[in-house]
A = this chain, B = another copy of it.
Amino acid sequence: MTGEDNESVVKYLRPPGATLEDVADAAGVSLATASRCLNHPDSVRAEKRQRILDAVERLHYVPHGAARALASKRTRMIGAVLPSLDNALFGGALGPFQKTLAAAGYSVLIASSDYDPDLERTHIRNLLESGVEALLLVGALRDPAIYQLIDAKHIPYVLSWVYEKDQHHAYAGFDNIGAAIHLTDYLMMLGHRRFGVISGIIEDNDRAQLRLQGIRSALNGKSLDLDPDCVFERQFSVEDGREVFRLMMSMSKPPTAIVCGAAPFAYGALFEAAEMGVRVPDAVSVASFDDMWLAPHISPPLTAVRTPRREMGEQAARYLVAKLEGERVALPRALETKLIVRKSTGPAPFANLPGSPPPE
Contacts and interface: CB of A to CB of B under 8 A. Distances in A.
Given A64-B129, A99-B114, A109-B109, 8 more contacts: A60-B152, A62-B153, A67-B70, A85-B91, A98-B111, A102-B111, A107-B126, A299-B299
A149 B60 CA distance: 8
Contacts of A65: 66, 69, 75, 129-131
Contacts of A299: 274, 299
B69 A238 contact: no
Interface in A127-142: 127-131
Contact of A108 (B96, B110, B154): B110
A73 interface: yes
Contact of A86 (B69, B92, B267): B92
Given A66-B70, A131-B64, A297-B271, A112 B84 contact: no
A121 to B, nearest CB: 13
Contact of A297 (B84, B114, B238): B238
A16 interface: yes
Interface of A: 15-17, 60, 62-67, 69-70, 73, 75, 77, 84-88, 91-92, 94-96, 98-99, 102, 107-112, 114, 123, 125-131, 149, 152-154, 238, 264, 267-268, 271, 274, 293-294, 297, 299
Q: How many subunits of this chain does the assembly comprise? A: 2
30 contacts: A15-B73, A62-B129, A63-B129, A64-B70, A64-B129, A64-B131, A65-B66, A65-B129, A65-B130, A66-B69, A66-B70, A66-B75, A67-B70, A69-B69, A85-B95, A86-B88, A86-B95, A86-B96, A87-B91, A91-B91, A98-B110, A98-B111, A98-B112, A99-B112, A102-B111, A108-B109, A108-B111, A109-B110, A238-B294, A268-B297
